[in-house]
A and B are shown apart, each in its own frame.
Chain A
């Protein structure tokens, strides 16, 4: 485990277990994620990395038959506590999905969606500024500033995925969760989105699930290897790929299974 003082932690998970009905998907997860870096989650299919990521903004709960135990502290606050408001959790912790899923609204309305849930309608000047800023941040503004009124699903996939990141920013999240954000994109688009992730890490704490070992290596500071619902290893990415501590990690990284 990587040592860190509590202040520099963005996410602190203690003894987290999760069940889908009778099936236990996560077993007593303990994890500390540092602020302002990219942490990647790797592991074979079904190891629980997506489930873990999704439980951090409690989107797992929409299935209805999911039960969670333990503690997930995001910036000191346990988001699994009973008195926590979901909108506050999800405002603080944004989520990007595997397939770009912009809402069937205009580009502009997509960027403003989350913001409007929190702040209401807003004035024209306010919203114009938010849209421009957010799209600037994801390096889209120059490319699509003339298409703000178009339906978001008419954009290219890469632009859609960047838009999906941009729409999280107006509510000033602390953490961005990304569930294989590049798996639907071609290599050029993947590179562009990775570059963006790398740029955003100065401002946000980012956790990214990936199937792509090379991506984890390229685009993350720390790496977590999961297997069968447990965390096997969590170390700086360079070290992990150079000299993994556990045999399972080494086998997975070398592509002997997964």
Chain B
């Protein structure tokens, strides 16, 4: 406590006491915390670009890199660096994952936000957050040991580690975050809209379809994009469930290989600074740029960057 006389003599001058020191220290710590995220991201960018630049400057043949499905970096006589098959793998798995997770997660979000009440609502939200916390290696394990034999049995195919398997696993993995964000978007729709529509005799479903979903469409779009980003960057589960075979897939039962899984599987076996090593980093740069674009796009969509005055 500051004594009364002191206040009178010191007038309004800031006294150096514990509260002042604490305030300054806390401010400093929070500042470091805030700035560190930016520092880390920039450092990661610099590091990855630095490691991959050598390949891009010397060995990269864009036509081969993006146009060839042959990824044979360890060949003695004729090393080939084509990532077309890997892109196809990642894209097909992500696409399939979205087919699985978009209906699921939008449905779940609509149910939680518009129909569920009280305990059911709270319970479901907690459960979905729990689902998001399952480590990806566990998902991979499920793909490997449960989905694999199941697919073999159900569809009578020789191997169950394929695009379908990885797509379903990834879809389930992306669903929680999509559900959470989509639910936030629906919750943000003013209740006055629902009330107005209901007062005109709209049923619950009509309210949802004609009023709630259209007015939440930015948030829902962002939810889907972030789900795509999540599926796109996932590594471990894909590595375990996809079969990891370089292949331009022609059916969901083909084994495929993802960009991320390639890096994870091969980086540890390469010599630092070798062409193979640098090529993997180039894939990393490519992945980074794409996820960056997806996230920026999601950000734009959520802010209504395309909001039009005329509908």
Q: Please determine whether B195 and A62 come into contact, CB atoms closer than 8 angstroms.
A: yes
Q: Is A97 an interface residue (CB 8 A)?
A: yes
Chain A neighbourhood of B193, CB < 8 A: 101, 103-104
Q: Which of A88, A89, A94, A117 contacts B202 (CB under 8 A)?
A: A117
Q: Mark B152-189, 1 if CB is under 8 A from A, else 0.
A: 00000000000000000000000000000000000000
Residue contact A105 to B214, C-beta cutoff 8 Å: yes
Q: A64-B117, A99-B192, A117-B206 are in contact. Are A106 and B311 (CB under 8 A)?
A: yes
State whether A104 touches B215 (Cβ < 8 A). yes
**B199 in contact with A149 (CB, 8 Å):** no
Q: Is A144 an interface residue (CB 8 A)?
A: no
Interface check B3, CB cutoff 8 A: no
Nearest residue (CB) in A for B118 is: A64
Q: Does A11 contact B (CB under 8 A)?
A: no
Is chain B's interface secondary structure helix, strand, loop, or mixed overall?
helix
Is there an interface contact between B196 and A90, defined as CB atoms closer than 8 Å? no
Are A167 and B195 also in contact (CB < 8 A) when A64-B117, A103-B211 are? Answer: no
In the assembly, what is the distance between CA of A87 and CA of B199, in Å?
Answer: 9
Contacts of A113 on B, CB cut-off 8 Å? 197, 200, 202, 210
Q: Whose C-beta in chain A lies nearest to the C-beta of B190?
A: A101
Residues of A contacting B266 with CB < 8 Å?
Answer: none
Q: CB of B310 within 8 A of chain A?
A: yes
| Residue in contact with B192 in the complex, picked from A91, A97, A118, CB distance below 8 Å | A97
On whether the beta carbons of B309 and A90 are closer than 8 Å, the reply is no
Cβ of B36 within 8 Å of any chain A Cβ, yes or no, is: no
Closest chain A CB from B119 CB (angstroms): 14
Chain B residue at minimal CB-CB distance from A108: B311
- How far apart are the CA atoms of A156 and B203 in the complex, in Å? 29
CB distance from B204 to the nearest CB of A (A): 9
Chain A's nearest CB lies how many Å from the CB of B122? 16
| Chain A hits for B199, CB < 8 A | 57, 59, 90, 94-95, 97
**C-beta contact mask, B223-254 vs A, less than 8 Å → 1, else 0?**
00000000000000000000000000000000
Complex Cα distance, B197 from A99, in Å, reads 14
Given the contacts A149-B311, A150-B310, A118 and B201 also touching, CB distance less than 8 Å: yes
Compute how far the CA of A105 lies from the CA of B209 in the bound complex, rounded to whole angstroms.
Answer: 13
Q: Report how far A97 CA is from B193 CA in the complex, Å.
A: 11
- What separation, in Å, do the CA atoms of A221 and B62 have in the docked complex? 82
CB proximity of A106 to chain B, nearest CB, Å: 5
The 8 closest A-B pairs by CB, nearest first: A90-B201, A87-B201, A101-B192, A114-B200, A95-B199, A104-B215, A101-B196, A59-B199
Q: Which A residues form the contact surface with B (CB < 8 A)?
A: 57, 59, 62, 64, 86-91, 94-95, 97, 99, 101-106, 109, 113-114, 117-118, 149-151, 154, 164, 167-168, 171
